[in-house]
Chains A and B, each alone.
Chain A
Amino acid sequence: AQSVTQLDSQVPVFEEAPVELRCNYSSSVSVYLFWYVQYPNQGLQLLLKYLSGSTLVKGINGFEAEFNKSQTSFHLRKPSVHISDTAEYFCAVRRNTGGFKTIFGAGTRLFVKA
């Protein structure tokens, strides 16, 4: 079975500062990895995904993440955040064969302060 651990439940940061949201996963098989964002009272939006290939993945809104197989991590980064980035961020994993169910981490609330 797969599992996801998001190491920080809340991350407060000042506007224009860099941010890293940490995600570790556990799986006995190869996986796909995702980051989703959920703005207040809205649905889920995909930020970026790692399926294969380059371990550095770029997504929307200036976010990027790096897949590190040896450390089983998929941390999300942004060099300079905006107030509008305030939201809940979810790391997710699914196995890349034999089943498509996606398992989510507990979420990290990013709070950007002026």
Chain B
Amino acid sequence: SAVISQKPSRDICQRGTSLTIQCQVDSQVTMMFWYRQQPGQSLTLIATANQGSEATYESGFVIDKFPISRPNLTFSTLTVSNMSPEDSSIYLCSVADSNTEAFFGQGTRLTVV
């Protein structure tokens, strides 16, 4: 199994600002993902973080709003840009390899005021 650390665990941000969330994994993994869980909702995949290339975004999510970096096989960041109250959610980092389930960090609870 993989141990995933996310920072920050929570934050309260002003609208119009940006927040960068970090995800560190204790081992090299092929695939890293970012999910959003809005209050009382399920997990929605934002994008797949590809090492050495641009992230692959799901429908409804764009790079300008959610830029992602993945400089190596153990680290990724997600930035939530120009935040509005609608961005208040839990953001989760996830990793997976072939023949394994997805492992999740504890999430970043973001409140935009």
Contact = CB atoms under 8 A, between A and B. Distances in A.
A94 B105 contact: no
Contacts of B94: 102
B112 to A, nearest CB: 19
A111 B42 CA distance: 17
Interface stretch (B13-21, B60-68, B74-82, B96-104): B96-104
Contacts of A106: 41-42
B72 interface: no
A34 B105 contact: no
The listed residue with most B CB atoms (<10 A of its CB), out of A46, A49, A90, is A46
For chain A, the bracket of interface size reads 10 to 19
B98 A103 contact: no
Contacts of A102: 33, 45, 94, 96, 101-102
Interface string A82-102: 000000001010100000111
Contacts of B97: 100
B92 A44 contact: yes
Interface string B84-113: 000000001010111101101111000000
Interface of B: 30-31, 33, 41-45, 48, 92, 94, 96-99, 101-102, 104-107
16 contacts: A34-B101, A34-B102, A43-B107, A44-B43, A44-B104, A46-B101, A49-B101, A51-B99, A94-B96, A100-B97, A100-B102, A102-B102, A104-B44, A106-B41, A107-B41, A107-B42
Given A34-B102, A46-B101, A94-B96, 14 more contacts: A42-B106, A43-B92, A44-B92, A49-B101, A51-B99, A90-B43, A100-B31, A100-B96, A100-B102, A101-B33, A101-B45, A101-B96, A102-B45, A106-B41
